[in-house]
Amino acid sequence: MKTVAITGAAGKLGRVVARFFSGKGWRVVAIVLPGHAVSARNALPKTKIVEADLVDPSAKGIARLAKAFKGVDAVVHLAGLVDYHAPRSKLFEANVETTGNALIAARKAGVKRFVYASSTTLYRKPKYLPIDENHPVEVVNEYGASKEAAEALVRNSGVPYVILRPCALYGPAFTAQYESLLKRIEKGRMRLIGDGGNHVAFLFEDDAAEAFFKAASGKAVNEDFIVAPNEKITQRQAFGIVAGALGVKPPSKKLPKRLAWLAALFEKNKAALLGKRPSVTLEEVDSICGDRHYDAGKAEKLLGWSAKTRFNDGVKKMVAAR
């Protein structure tokens, strides 16, 4: 029986990935934050749970992590922070320092495959479409900068690696994340930003989990891959599919892109003054009205992976999980 250690296994994606590996007959060692063992055991029964603070760079902390990694066939590093409003220091601690500590432990344990969860946020200003692995990296926020820095650590660690860059994730595990958007569509308050003809990219959670499994179990090594569906969906089509799943009329009114950006900027500044989180963010506006789709041909060729879930089917599953 093969074994995988998964950091961040108690998170939304972590739980899905852990269950996928278990379903393939792998033994899973779930690395979770101290104090999260009980909830992790409830979510992941029959899984070995190890509490470890990946931020801890002490010899004791690294040794504990290395012990958890010892003898595994692969480490899948999902732990991190996805928060576009967090300060740079917090993002770099959660996404860069934890990756560095995990790599040190992996090297000590003799790990032969380290799979790192990066992000297509590295391509926020597309210079051509579809975006592939040859596209230049251009980050526009601190979250993207933290992912870029973490990738550099992975490449220079000396540990055999695979870097995956999934696009925006959705599915039953992420329903709460999209709840405010779903409610706006239900209540008829959602508007198309621009003409709605731009392409958007969303990856269903099970397809993402399979990509991590293929990366951990395949032969490709020291490579990076875009993980995204080949299905091309426009903003208008996406909202129409979501509205259909909710049983309501799709958005038809339009909001000029410039006004959407100004509204998000206003919310950002207001939230900063009040010490609160903005109700809408620049990143959310960009994900809706930005034109981007991806070429996952490299993953298909070297990993044998391609997304199987059609957006229409994935949305139905997500809405049904509310």
Q: What percent of the chain has pLDDT over 90?
A: 88
Per residue in 227-267, pLDDT (tens digit) is: 999 999 999 999 999 999 999 999 999 999 999 989 888 88
CA-to-CA dists, residue 226 to 20, 63, 174, 274, 278, angstroms: 20, 32, 20, 38, 30
Kindly give the pairing relationship between strand 199-200 and strand 233-234: antiparallel
Q: What's the chain's average pLDDT?
A: 95
Token digits of residue 74: 């692969």
Residue 283 pLDDT > 90: no
271 versus 94: the higher-pLDDT residue is 94
Q: Note the pLDDT of residue 80.
A: 97
Per residue in 160-199, pLDDT (tens digit) is: 999 999 999 999 999 999 999 999 999 999 999 999 999 9
Strand partners, 138: 123
Instruction: Identify the three-state secondary structure at position 114.
Output: strand
Mean pLDDT of 96-115: 98
What does the alpha-carbon distance between residue 322 and residue 313 come to, in Å, rounded to a whole number? 15
What does the alpha-carbon distance between residue 248 and residue 27 come to, in Å, rounded to a whole number? 43
Distance of CA 100 to the CA centre of its chain: 19
Per residue in 37-70, pLDDT (tens digit) is: 999 999 999 899 999 999 999 999 999 999 999 9
Residue 115 pLDDT > 90: yes
Residue 282 pLDDT > 90: no
The C-alpha torsion from 77 through 82 and 86 to 90, rounded to 10°, is: 0
Residue 144 pLDDT > 80: yes
Q: Note the pLDDT of residue 245.
A: 98
Phi and psi dihedrals of 42, rounded to 5? -65, -40
Q: Note the pLDDT of residue 273.
A: 87
Helix 98-109 and helix 142-155, axial crossing angle in degrees, nearest 10: 20
| 3-170+201-229+293-308 CATH, one of 3.40.228.10, 3.40.50.720, 3.40.470.10, 3.40.50.80 | 3.40.50.720
Element (H, E) at 243: helix 235-246
For the chain, which residues make up each domain, given as ranges? 3-170+201-229+293-308, 175-196+234-288
- If phi > 0 it is left, if psi is from -120 to 50 it is alpha, else beta; for residue 46 that is left
Q: Note the pLDDT of residue 63.
A: 97
Per-residue buried b or exposed e for 281-295, using 16+ beta carbons within 10 Å of the residue's own CB: bbbbbbbbbbebbbb
Residue 279 pLDDT > 80: no
The C-alpha torsion from 53 through 56 and 62 to 68, rounded to 10°, is: 0
